[in-house]
């Protein structure tokens, strides 16, 4: 069994055979994946060694001390946090071998084609159609709020393959080639002035059946794996003490005594404590993840993440007064990633408004927590046994 000492030996051997100072970054990342040191909990041959997930920190510490390059995880977060766990749980060996290595090294960026204009909070009501044509599927429809679609090579996609059954049972899950000529990506300009999100139009897109993940009609079950991992990846990020959104507010408080008031101090103390509780809860959630697949508790963490970001960014504006209204970049930009801490307070305040929508709206997540964590009675669902084609839209 692989233990910490074995992982240290393997990591040091990697550093000897592929010295970070002289090995091209991509070559080093490929070598790390092939050595099983990318994500040690994964099976051998897929970037791992079948070791306990918590031992990943042993590898990461050794590589950080050697100034080895990482795979820029924030840039490829959708691939790492959503596509990879889904492929590992439901993909075929051929799909795993084809997609996981370039996903982890960052050679191929991924996006998520789930939400639609008429089926945002009620994702299972989606209308994008996939029709079987021999060994391929023809896909037509529209998706929205797609982060990184302008950068992505591949997308995880859910589409309706059977309109004659209830909405949750007529969905299938695919890997979509974003370079297909039928894929059109249009920017959605946000309140920040950026266009990190997109709307995506699919017209006659051809997807080979070999790129279907899971059984035909079982897409909702596969998508639940994606969604649970998505909420963990958003709300359960590893942070140092006083990390995340609370950091710039606490720093301003210490450095600018002229801005302090008693009322703001009370708010800061309360939010600092909430942020620390959330950080420690996220650590426990990642420990749960190490023991198996994530559960609905990830929804609670994502709820907390959104609430805290919005309350902390509001406090920061109140603390800074008129200085907080300064926001110096309204130009149309197409960012590769969202940087909350490296921007103006005004940017953080505006961008945090989207936290209660992306990754599942807070209203839907409250239902998930109520029903699946607290075991409260479920809301009445009149469309549960109605064929999708007969639903009012």
pLDDT digits (tens, 9 = 90+) for 331-363: 667 766 666 667 788 888 988 988 888 777 888
* Cβ atoms 282, 236 nearer than 8 A: yes
Residues 231 and 303 in one domain: yes
**110 vs 195: which has the higher pLDDT:** 110
pLDDT of residue 271: 96
Question: Does the structure show a pLDDT above 60 at 293?
Answer: no
Distance of CA 198 to the CA centre of its chain: 16
Domain-located, residue 255: yes
Question: Does the structure show a pLDDT above 60 at 268?
Answer: yes
Domain-located, residue 382: no
CATH code of 205's domain: 2.40.110.10
Residues 232 and 110 in one domain: no
pLDDT of residue 285: 73
Residues 211 and 234 in one domain: no
Residue 141 pairs with which residues in a beta bridge?
Answer: 202
pLDDT of residue 299: 78
Residues 54 and 110 in one domain: no
Strands (E), the chain: 110-113, 129-133, 136-143, 154-160, 171-177, 183-188, 197-208, 212-213
Label residue 359 left, alpha or beta by phi (over 0 means left) and psi (-120 to 50 means alpha).
left
pLDDT of residue 291: 58
Domain-located, residue 385: no
Residues 84 and 178 in one domain: yes
Q: Which of 162, 191, 222 is the last residue of a domain?
A: 222
Residues 130 and 153 in one domain: yes
Residues 206 and 294 in one domain: no
Residues 130 and 93 in one domain: yes
Show the domain range for 136. Answer: 79-97+106-222
pLDDT of residue 289: 64
* Cβ atoms 139, 205 nearer than 8 A: yes
CATH code of 368's domain: 1.20.140.10
Q: Catalytic positions, please?
A: 230
Number of domain units in the chain: 3
Domain-located, residue 57: yes
Residue 364 pairs with which residues in a beta bridge?
Answer: none
Residue 136 pairs with which residues in a beta bridge?
Answer: 133, 208
Residues 231 and 367 in one domain: yes
Strands (E), 189-281: 197-208, 212-213
**First vs last C-alpha separation in the chain:** 55
Domain-located, residue 315: yes
Question: For residue 317, what pLDDT band results from cuts at 50, 70 and 90?
Answer: very high
Residues 193 and 305 in one domain: no
Domain-located, residue 17: yes
Residues of the chain above pLDDT 90, percent: 62
Domain-located, residue 388: no
Most distant CA pair in the chain: distance in Å?
A: 71
Q: Which of 222, 246, 281 is the last residue of a domain?
A: 222
Residues 116 and 215 in one domain: yes
Q: Which of 222, 251, 281 is the last residue of a domain?
A: 222
Residue 194 pairs with which residues in a beta bridge?
Answer: 333
Mean pLDDT of the chain: 90
Question: Does the structure show a pLDDT above 60 at 60?
Answer: yes
Residues 242 and 217 in one domain: no
Domain-located, residue 389: no
pLDDT digits (tens, 9 = 90+) for 88-147: 999 999 999 999 999 999 999 999 999 999 887 789 999 999 999 999 999 999 999 898
Q: In whole angstroms, how far apart are CA 196 and each of 23, 78, 121, 175, 329?
A: 32, 13, 20, 21, 14
The whole-model pTM stands at 0.88
């Amino acid at each position: 069994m692989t233990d910490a000492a074995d992982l240290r030996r393997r990591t040091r051997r990697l550093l000897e055979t592929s010295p970070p100072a002289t090995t091209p970054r991509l070559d080093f990342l490929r070598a790390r994946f092939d050595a099983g040191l990318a994500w040690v909990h994964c099976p051998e041959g897929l970037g791992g060694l079948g070791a306990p997930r918590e031992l990943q920190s042993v590898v990461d510490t050794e590589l950080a001390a050697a100034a080895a390059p990482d795979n820029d995880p924030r840039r490829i977060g959708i691939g790492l946090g959503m596509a990879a766990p889904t492929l590992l749980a439901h993909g075929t060996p051929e799909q795993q071998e084809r997609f996981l290595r370039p996903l982890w090294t960052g050679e191929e960026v991924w996006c998520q084609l789930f939400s639609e204009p008429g089926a945002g909070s009620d994702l299972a009501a989606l209308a994008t159609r996939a029709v079987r044509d021999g060994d391929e599927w023809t896909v037509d429809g529209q998706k929205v709020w797609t982060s990184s679609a302008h950068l992505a090579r591949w997308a995880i996609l859910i589409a309706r393959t059977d309109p004659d059954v209830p909405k949750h049972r007529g969905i299938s899950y695919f890997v979509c080639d974003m370079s297909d000529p039928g894929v059109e990506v249009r920017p959605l300009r946000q309140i920040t002035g950026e266009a990190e999100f997109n709307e995506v139009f699919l017209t006659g897109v051809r997807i080979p059946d070999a790129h279907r993940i899971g059984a035909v009609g079982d897409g909702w079950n596969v998508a639940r794996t994606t969604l649970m991992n998505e909420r963990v990846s958003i709300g359960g990020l590893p942070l140092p003490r006083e990390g995340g959104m609370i950091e710039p507010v606490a720093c301003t408080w210490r450095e600018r005594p002229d801005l302090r008031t008693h009322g703001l101090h009370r708010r800061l103390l309360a939010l600092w404590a909430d942020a620390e509780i959330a950080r420690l809860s996220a650590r426990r959630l990642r420990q749960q993840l190490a023991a198996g697949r994530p559960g609905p508790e990830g929804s609670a963490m994502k709820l907390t993440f959104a609430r805290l970001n919005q309350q902390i960014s509001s406090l920061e504006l109140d603390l800074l007064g008129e200085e907080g209204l300064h926001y110096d970049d309204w130009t149309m930009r197409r960012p590769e990633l969202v940087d909350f801490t490296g921007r103006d307070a005004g940017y953080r305040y505006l961008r945090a408004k989207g936290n209660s929508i992306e990754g599942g709206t807070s209203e839907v997540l409250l239902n998930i927590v109520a029903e699946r964590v607290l075991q409260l009675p479920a809301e009445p669902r009149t469309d549960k046994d109605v064929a999708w084609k007969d639903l009012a839209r």
